[in-house]
Amino acid sequence: MSDIVKKPIGITETILRDAHQSLIATRMPTEFMLPILDKMDKVGYHSVECWGGATFDASLRFLKEDPWDRLRKIRDGLKNTKTQMLFRGQNILGYRPYADDVVDNFVQRSVANGIDIIRIFDCLNDLRNLQAAVDATNRIKRQEGRGHAQIALSYTLGDAYTMEYWTDMAKKVEEMGADSICIKDMAGLLVPYKASELIKAMKEVTKLPIQLHTHYTSGVASMTYLKAVEAGVDVIDCAMSPFALGTSQPATEVMVETFRGTPYDTGFDQNLLAEIAEYFRPYRDECLANGLLNPKVMGVDIKTLLYQVPGGMLSNMVSQLKEQNAEDKYYDVLKEIPKVREDLGEPPLVTPSSQIVGTQAVFNVLMGERYKMATDQTKDMLRGKYGQTIKPMSEAVVQKVIPGEERITCRPADLIENEMHKLEAEMKEWKQQDEDILSYALFPQVATDFFKYRQAQQEKVDMTQADTGNAAYPV
Ligand SMILES: [Mn+2]
């Protein structure tokens, strides 16, 4: 046995991003995060994920915090640990495709403010939507010696997603100049033995490190990690136990203990992890007490495996049906979802493709005729504005929804003119730092409201006296 090579598994800690996004609607405030960073910095994590679309949005919208300020403070607290963010390809952290100059600028400011690893994904796995962000990261890495471009493939099931598809994608990701690959299983669809097969196949075609990201939603996640680690995966995403399991990730402490004494031993100090968990546990109790943490999301949702529909998408669908007094149509819509997905070229179901497919399926069932009405997003999807799907879209549906219209086959961002100057002109009265232009670019209304709030705070205005409707603040 002496010839066993040690290969300590890396762990990305998600408690400052995905864990609280998945369990408590991304509401963990910066002030609560800061006191524990010093201890987290001593664990030896591969990285700490701490930034992304929802954290950025919720900071501005609900917490009235500057997300850039959060990033700088986390950076200060994590002196020896890499920070990681999630980036929606050409959509950056927002919901529409942006011009390349905004993508470039955002990557640059993210690294300048403290991000080390940028995990970049596209909801259609259209690699053209990732190139600008990867190129920007690589350029900054050459200039500053810091920055890591990780390409994440959105994991999904379907005829088109064969082992050959995934290995072919892995080769392309390497050719694009990524530093590592992530398999991003947002719904917990990757089952243990399939994970083993997938990681082995990918390891045969690429030398890039492979990271696995999954959710506990369907109940198989820790077994999936075990098989993936045995098959050679390099890094797994975990969350400290108070914010693990359910719709979040497997627990960090459990995975650490699972691999203790094996070649994959992380070497992490379980006592230190216990101290960190101790810090987060009362906050979990508080969230349970105030309803922010719903016990419903803590269990196993086996429907995820049955219908291959992410949990968040199911709850959206239920609320749409409720609004229409059509909850009895639940199973009809569930059956319609795979059909719409097929019509639209069988995309992975992740923001925003999940909302597009789910909403259209609801329309198709409620109208009693398929595509009698189509949402603007369905139309844009059919026009090719989100990029190319793995399978061709249904020609019959295209002809019914956008008859005679021109469709895009180029990289969608090639049609968007540089827009940094225009965006800056629109918001310049609020600008206190260059990063504010980017906050505005992503969430124009929410950012503007935040800028007004910030200014009022700075001028010590009594917010109860402020007329937010007219944006007039008594000074
Ligand atoms: Mn996730």
Q: What pLDDT tens digit does each residue of the chain (475 aa) get?
A: 445 789 999 999 999 999 999 999 999 999 999 999 999 999 999 999 999 988 999 999 999 999 999 999 999 999 999 999 999 999 999 888 899 999 999 999 999 999 999 999 999 999 999 999 999 999 999 999 999 999 999 999 999 999 999 999 999 999 999 999 999 999 899 999 999 999 999 999 999 999 999 999 999 999 999 999 999 999 999 999 999 999 999 999 999 999 999 999 999 999 999 999 999 999 999 999 999 998 888 888 887 877 777 766 777 788 889 899 999 998 899 899 999 999 999 999 988 888 899 999 999 999 999 999 999 999 999 999 999 999 999 999 999 999 999 999 999 999 999 999 999 999 999 999 999 999 999 999 999 999 999 999 999 866 555 554 444 444 4
| CA–centroid distance, residue 369 to ligand 1 (Å) | 34
CA of 344 to the centre of ligand 1 (A): 23
CA of 215 to the centre of ligand 1 (A): 6
Matching residue, tokens 């070497």:
267
Tokens of 358: 């789910």
User: What are the phi and psi torsion angles at 392 (to 5°)?
Assistant: -65, 150
Report CA(184)–ligand 1 centroid distance (Å).
7
Tell me the CA–centroid distance for residue 356 and ligand 1, in Å. 19
Q: What is the pLDDT of residue 462?
A: 60
From ligand 1's centre to the CA of 317, what distance in Å? 20
**Counting every residue, how long is the chain?**
475
**CA 151 to ligand 1 center in whole angstroms:** 14
User: Checking phi first, is residue 460 left (phi over 0); if not, alpha (psi -120 to 50) or beta?
Assistant: left
* CA 275 to centroid of ligand 1, rounded, Å: 25
Distance 352 CA to ligand 1 centre (A): 14
Q: What are the helix and strand counts (H, E) for the chain?
A: 21, 8
Q: How far, in Å, is the centroid of ligand 1 from the Cα of 363?
A: 27
Neighbour tally for 326: CB within 10 Å = 15
Q: Are strands 210-213 and 117-121 parallel, antiparallel or unpaired?
A: unpaired
Q: For residue 17, how far is its CA from the centre of ligand 1 (angstroms)?
A: 9
Q: How far is the CA of 214 from the centre of ligand 1 (A)?
A: 6
Whole-number Å distance between alpha carbons of 139 and 141: 5
**Residue 322 phi, psi dihedral angles, 5° rounding:** -60, -45
Distance 337 CA to ligand 1 centre (A): 21
Taken in order 45, 50, 52, 55, the sign of the CA dihedral is positive
Distance 29 CA to ligand 1 centre (A): 19
Question: What number of other Cβ atoms are within 10 A of residue 376's Cβ?
Answer: 8
> What pLDDT score does 472 carry?
44
Strand partners, 84: 49, 117
Taking alpha carbons only, the member of 1, 30, 2 closest to residue 16 is: 30
CA–centroid distance, residue 254 to ligand 1 (Å): 19
pTM: 0.92
Continuous segment of H or E residues that includes residue 221? helix 221-230
Separation of CA 287 and ligand 1 centre (Å)? 20
Asked whether the beta carbons of 133 and 87 are under 8 A apart, the reply is: yes
Distance (Å, whole) CA 243 – CA 241: 5
Find the 459 Cα to ligand 1 centroid distance in Å: 39
DSSP of 167-200: HHHHHHHHHTT-SEEEEE-TTS---HHHHHHHHH
Asked if the peptide bond before residue 352 counts as cis, ω within 30 degrees of 0, the response is yes
Q: How far is the CA of 143 from the centre of ligand 1 (A)?
A: 30
Q: How far is the CA of 222 from the centre of ligand 1 (A)?
A: 15
With left for phi above 0 and alpha for psi between -120 and 50, is residue 28 left, alpha or beta? beta
CA 351–ligand 1 middle distance (angstroms): 11
Element (H, E) at 203: helix 192-205
Under a CB-based contact definition with an 8 Å cutoff, are residues 186 and 248 in contact? no
Q: Is 96 helix (H, G, I), strand (E, B) or coil?
A: coil
CA of 186 to the centre of ligand 1 (A): 5
Of the candidates 99, 17, 88, the residue with the CA atom closest to the CA atom of residue 58: 17
Rounded distance from Cα 135 to ligand 1 centre (Å):
24
213: CA distance to ligand 1 center in Å? 7
Supply 416's token pair: 């968007």
* CA distances for 110 relative to 9, 13, 136, 169, 465, angstroms: 27, 19, 11, 26, 36
Give the span between the Cα atoms of 255 and 247, in whole angstroms.
17
CA 455 to ligand 1 centroid distance, Å? 34
pLDDT for position 319? 81
Residue 103 Cα to ligand 1 midpoint, Å, equals 22
Q: How far is the CA of 89 from the centre of ligand 1 (A)?
A: 15
Q: How far is the CA of 19 from the centre of ligand 1 (A)?
A: 8
Ligand 1 midpoint to CA 185 (Å): 7
User: Which DSSP symbol is given to 79?
Assistant: S
Dist. CA 295 → ligand 1 center (Å): 19
Q: For residue 310, how far is its CA from the centre of ligand 1 (angstroms)?
A: 11
d(CA 356, CA 340): 9
Amino acid at 418: N
237: CA distance to ligand 1 center in Å?
A: 9
What is the 461 CA–ligand 1 centroid distance (Å)? 39
- Cα of 221 to ligand 1 centre, how many Å? 12
